[in-house]
Amino acid sequence: MTARHAGYIVTLAEDIREDDADHIMTALRMVSGVISVQPVTANLDMAIARQQVHGEVRGKVLQLLKELQ
């Protein structure tokens, strides 16, 4: 028995202005089987999470560089 997908989460590389997003949302709606496209508004929680991830990656890169020396 195989699992069934109910949806997908698509993450943009960077935040875009709402008025610039219309063409992206229209394209997603054109994908077969898509019945809804709802934007997620950038907020403080997302900014904090992004900074935490950047800090984690930065730490791993610095650790790798130390190991290579």
**Per residue in 20-50, pLDDT tens?**
999 999 999 999 999 999 998 889 988 898 8
DSSP readout, 4-66? ---------SS---GGG-HHHHHHHHTSTT----------HHHHHHHHHHHHHHHHHHHHHHH
Q: Look at residue 11 in the predicted model and tell me its pLDDT.
A: 86
pLDDT in the model for residue 63: 95
| Domain edges within the chain | 18-68
